[in-house]
Homo-oligomer: A and B are copies of this chain.
Amino acid sequence: MAKDKLIGVDLGGTTIKFAILTDEGEVQQKWSIQTNVLDGGKYIVPDIIESINHHLDIYQLDRDRVIGIGLGTPGTVNIAEGTVKGAYNLNWATEQPVKEAIEAGTGFSLKIDNDANVAALGEAWKGAGNNDDDVSFITLGTGVGGGLVANGQLIHGAGGAGGEVGHIIVEPNGYLCTCGNRGCLEQYASATGVVHLAQDFAEQYVGQSRLKQMIDNGDEVTSKIIFDLAKDGDFLANETVNKVAYYLGYASAMIANTLNPSAIVIGGGVAAAGEFLRERVEKDWKPFAFPTVRTSTRIKLAELGNDAGVIGAASLAR
């Protein structure tokens, strides 16, 4: 029996997503379960094993056809050993032997990488990256993460911090970051970073603005509200989005002048603003991009949404 199926697992703090794919990356089955983080997250790996075995039975998939399993996870991943630690939203503080356990419990080989890297692989393979060998991915959510594919391979670097694009410095002496440095992209382009910028702008602004009213009133303001107000023409909201786009443009140019990928793919919740954000980032990155880079690297929106994780995870197992 020819092996032609991949299993992708996207492990998150609230849900675990699963998919069975062809070896060409076509999703054939998808399902998800809740993540049970109780008791130090000790049920997570057994739940993954049980869910895979159960669904292979449901779908009556011949196990001989499975090439392997790929898994994306939060935390710090030891790729060679297949262990994970410091995944605090899973309550995995200490090292977890994930690979060993899942391989024993399913009989399939497992490859593992962190969630942002896996999402990058997904977008590079089947999403905005068009299966190119050089694709960079920036994900804008609670934090700013990313994954960099060069010569068809993820960049991990000497200490595993390759692709930490959220910590590119875009404003020397700027906002203090959780990492201890000042001016990291994450402090300006994450969901909380966008709000922080808006709050600072509101303090200095004296004109008409619904956003300023909300902030002055102490209403809850989210990055989505700011983008929606900007689309409605609110001046302060637009100033905020322009600044976010500027920093994203600058960071994109830093990445692109280094790697010259065919695409810088922007995804994550904040990127739900879509073309409204993308076109501004594209305008702002141009003055910083080396001429050859400007014509050979494109700024694109992510295309796979929540499926990037399972697809990219599955690609690890190819």
CB of A281 within 8 Å of the partner chain: no
Stretch among A203-211, A212-220, A251-259 lining the B interface: A251-259
CB of A290 within 8 Å of the partner chain: yes
Per assembly, the copies of the chain total 2
CB of A179 within 8 Å of the partner chain: yes
CB of A107 within 8 Å of the partner chain: no
How far, in angstroms, from A205 to B153 measured CA to CA in the complex? Answer: 50
* Cross-chain contact B134 with A290 (CB below 8 angstroms): no
* Cross-chain contact B169 with A293 (CB below 8 angstroms): no
* Cross-chain contact A162 with B258 (CB below 8 angstroms): yes
CB of A261 within 8 Å of the partner chain: yes
CB of A292 within 8 Å of the partner chain: yes
Q: Mark A274-293, 1 if CB is under 8 A from B, else 0.
A: 00000000000001111111
* Cross-chain contact A258 with B261 (CB below 8 angstroms): no
How far, in angstroms, from A164 to B134 measured CA to CA in the complex? Answer: 15
How far, in angstroms, from A155 to B161 measured CA to CA in the complex? Answer: 18
- Of the candidates B160, B163, B290, B295, the one whose C-beta lies within 8 Å of that of A167 is B290
* Cross-chain contact B150 with A254 (CB below 8 angstroms): no
Query: Which A221-274 residues have C-beta < 8 A from chain B?
Result: 250, 253-255, 257-262
How far, in angstroms, from A168 to B250 measured CA to CA in the complex? Answer: 10
- Of the candidates B161, B162, B290, the one whose C-beta lies within 8 Å of that of A161 is B290
Nearest CB to that of A288 among chain B residues? B169
A296 with B158, Cβ < 8 A, contacts A250-B169, A258-B148, A258-B255 known: yes
* Cross-chain contact B151 with A153 (CB below 8 angstroms): yes
Q: List residues of chain B with CB within 8 A of the CB of A290.
A: 161, 164, 167, 179, 181
CB of A67 within 8 Å of the partner chain: no
Most buried by B among A160, A169, A253: A169
* Cross-chain contact B257 with A182 (CB below 8 angstroms): no
Q: Mark A90-118, 1 if CB is under 8 A from B, else 0.
A: 00000000000000000000000000000
CB of A156 within 8 Å of the partner chain: yes
Q: Mark A140-176, 1 if CB is under 8 A from B, else 0.
A: 0000000010110101111111111101110010000
* Cross-chain contact B160 with A260 (CB below 8 angstroms): yes
Q: List residues of chain B with CB within 8 A of the CB of A164.
A: 257, 260, 290, 292-293
* Cross-chain contact B258 with A156 (CB below 8 angstroms): no
Residues of A within 8 A of B (CB): 132, 134, 148, 150-151, 153, 155-165, 167-169, 172, 179-182, 250, 253-255, 257-262, 287-293, 295-297
Q: Can you list 5 contacts pairing A with B, beta carbon distance less than 8 Å?
A: A151-B153, A159-B260, A162-B258, A165-B257, A181-B290
Known contacts A162-B260, A165-B258, A167-B293; 13 additional CB pairs below 8 A are: A134-B158, A150-B155, A151-B156, A155-B260, A158-B297, A159-B293, A159-B296, A160-B296, A162-B259, A168-B257, A172-B288, A181-B288, A254-B254
